[in-house]
Amino acid sequence: MLSNNMMFIDPHIHMTSRTTDDYERMRNAGIVAIIEPAFWLGQPRTEVGSFKDYYSSLVGWERFRASQFGIKHYCTIGLNSKEANNEALAKQVMELLPLFVCKEGVVGVGEIGYDDQTAAEDKYFRLQLDLAREVNMPVQIHTPHRDKKSGTIRSMDVCQEHGIAPGMVIVDHNNEETVRDVLDRGFWAAFTIYPNSKMGNERMVEIVKQYGTERIIVNSSADWGVSDPLSVPKTASLMLERGIPEEAVRMVCYQNALDAFGQSGQMKETDWLDAMQVDQTAKFSDNSVLRGGQTPFVRNMSATEKPADNLVR
């Protein structure tokens, strides 16, 4: 059972694909901050302008939308590996990235890496690593779904070839096959908790029991597919039920994410520990999260407050 004052960070979740109901449930479950990596939308983008508008929404509208539910929103900016294979478009996107990676709320370059481990993916992965090194930002790695172990090892090798310190790299979508290599080399090991695929929370409990909490991070990667935006608090609850101490749960479901992405200088615990003003009368580009007849929620919220069903009526 979760402690009433436990706080969580979901450091990999695609809220562009989620609803306001998700934001409400996440805040009520204790999620105080999230990181939204730039990612694949489910079908190929065909114009560079669609990337520009998407990145703008991550640092603009989505950041505002999260604030309307008492959650601090951060993001990572990058060209995902699948779309790196469209080289004519990828070249144009690379010209955009320096315009966004240093904007407020951006905590890293990501999610980048390999999908099919093609030559084009390797080229644009390396270019983005050079950008991350230039601006001294953390890197968020997408490890491939196929041939994962070799792809994970290759990702780490390339990071080090480009002079990126392991402590600045969050290697995501790990499993039992990859975790030892990632931890032994000093990288952060993040785990995606997906229903019926990737890592389940039962398996995540065993990972923490076997490897401890150092440099291990839990996330949901919830997106437009079958996924669960409450994976982090649900996994925390199961860990407590299985006898993992609360402090250990706090490390893998909160503190480690803060330590890893806090290296950007853009993410600080005081961002949410200080009372957050939630004002649903506010608008972004003349747009509100409310519709006609809905009563706005306006209040200073503490980090541990659970607003229950009072945010939107």
Read off the pLDDT of residues 192-235 as tens digits, 9 standing for 90 and up: 998 776 678 899 999 999 999 999 999 999 999 999 999 999 99
How far, rounded to the nearest angstrom, does the alpha carbon of residue 150 sit from its chain's CA centroid?
Answer: 23
Q: What is the mean pLDDT of residues 253-279?
A: 95
pLDDT at position 194: 82
Q: How far apart are CA 144 and CA 142, in angstroms?
A: 6
Distances (CA, A) of 159 to 24, 78, 170, 230, 277: 37, 15, 11, 31, 40
User: If you average pLDDT over residues 65-86, what whole number do you get?
Assistant: 96
Spatial distance between the Cα atoms of 3 and 90, rounded to a whole number of angstroms:
46
Contact 34, 9 (CB under 8 A): yes
Q: How far apart are CA 60 and CA 73, in angstroms?
A: 10
DSSP letters, 126-158, are: HHHHHHHHHHT--EEEE--SSSHHHHHHHHHHH
pLDDT average, residue stretch 175-179: 96
Q: Which of 16-20, 99-103, 301-305, 307-311 has the lowest mean pLDDT?
A: 307-311
What do you get for the CA distance between the two ends of the chain, in Å? 28
Produce one character per residue of 172-200: b if its CB has 16 or more CB atoms within 10 Å, e if not. Answer: bbbbeebbebbbebebbbbbbbbeeebbe
Domains of the chain: 8-289 (3.20.20.140)
Residue with tokens 């407020």: 104
Quick check: 140 and 76 in contact, CB under 8 A? yes
Across 35-69, b (16+ Cβ under 10 Å) vs e yields bbbbbbbeeebeebeebeebbebbbeebbbbbbbb
Q: List Cα–Cα distances, 287 to 50, 283, 290, in angstroms.
A: 20, 5, 9
Q: What global pTM score does this model have?
A: 0.95
What is the Cα–Cα distance from 243 to 37, expressed in whole angstroms? 32
Report the distance separating Cα 290 and Cα 165, nearest Å.
44
Burial class (CB in 10 A: 0-12, 13-18, 19+), 104: exposed
Reading the block at residue 183, the tokens are: 């931890």
Q: How far apart are CA 303 and CA 281, in angstroms?
A: 21
The Cα 57–Cα 41 span in angstroms is 13
What are the pLDDT digits (tens) for 76-97? 999 999 999 999 999 999 999 9
**What is the per-residue pLDDT across 109-138, written as a single tens digit (0 to 9) for each?**
999 999 999 999 999 999 999 999 999 999
Structure tokens at 211: 């490897």
Task: Convert the pLDDT of each residue in 255-266 to its tens digit.
Answer: 999 999 999 999
Is there a cis peptide before residue 176, judged by omega within 30 degrees of 0? no
CA of residue 213 relative to chain centroid, distance: 19
Rg (CA), the chain: 19
